[in-house]
Structure 1
Amino acid sequence: MHDWAAPLIAAALFAFLAPGLVLQIPGKNRPMDFFNMKTSLAAMFVHTVLYGLFLILFFIVLHVHLYA
């Protein structure tokens, strides 16, 4: 019995939080841009911090598990 929550959640967050794919925080001309397919160093840093915080939220705070 394996816990599949960690790889599934990590992969989904990685795909969703890629800067410029769905949203970019901070954007080039606005605080938030959607579907612009561009990125900057500031956006990469913000998305990295958000990725880490979401992983902490799901695995340490909420104790999410998915057994298959």
Structure 2
Amino acid sequence: MSDWGPVFVAVVLFVLLTPGLLIQVPGRNRFVEFGNFQTSGVSILVHAIIYFALICIFLLAVGVHMYMASKTTMADWGPVLIGVVLFILLQPGLLFQIPGNNKSLEFGTMKTNGKAIAVHTLIFFALYAILILAVHVHIYTG
């Protein structure tokens, strides 16, 4: 049976930590800005670090995604690393944005909108679920 815990945690964190939706650190004019629908390379990096810390806490420390194998507990880093990479690459406005503010597809605008966040969240969910649940990408340490 598939474990949907890592998928749920990763998608929720993707939405909540998308720079410019709820919060942007650092903001364009202040250190913290709320709901400005803007982003930057630095804010994506800061939010990715926060994403990494939180997904490690939820998937590795809290144990939302832990497997028992040969009577030893093994931490699965696959969902963490895949989540962080997809979090960065799929940020609306960094590489691309669907839909854009002026076109259906825009590249490198460093801006976003509510529709783009929703579309990118669906793309994130689909890719993450495929890689974790269908392809079974796992990186065990123990």
TM above 0.5:
yes
Map 1:1-68 to 2 at 5 A.
Answer: 1-68=74-141
More strand by share: 2
RMSD, aligned α-carbons: 1.1
Higher relative contact order (CA 8 A, sep 6+): 1
Offset of residue 8 of structure 1: 0.3
* Structure 1 range deviating more: 7-16 or 22-31: 22-31
TM-score normalized with structure 1 length: 0.90
Computing the radius of gyration over CA atoms, which structure comes out larger, 1 or 2?
A: 2
Cα shift at 1:32: 0.9
Cα distance in 1 between the residues matched to 2:133 and 2:75: 18
> Which blocks of at least 5 consecutive residues in structure 1 are unaligned?
none
Aligned residue pairs total 68
Q: Which aligned segments of 4 or more residues in structure 1 are displaced greater than 6 angstroms?
A: none
Matched residues in 2 for 1:10 and 1:26: separation? 22
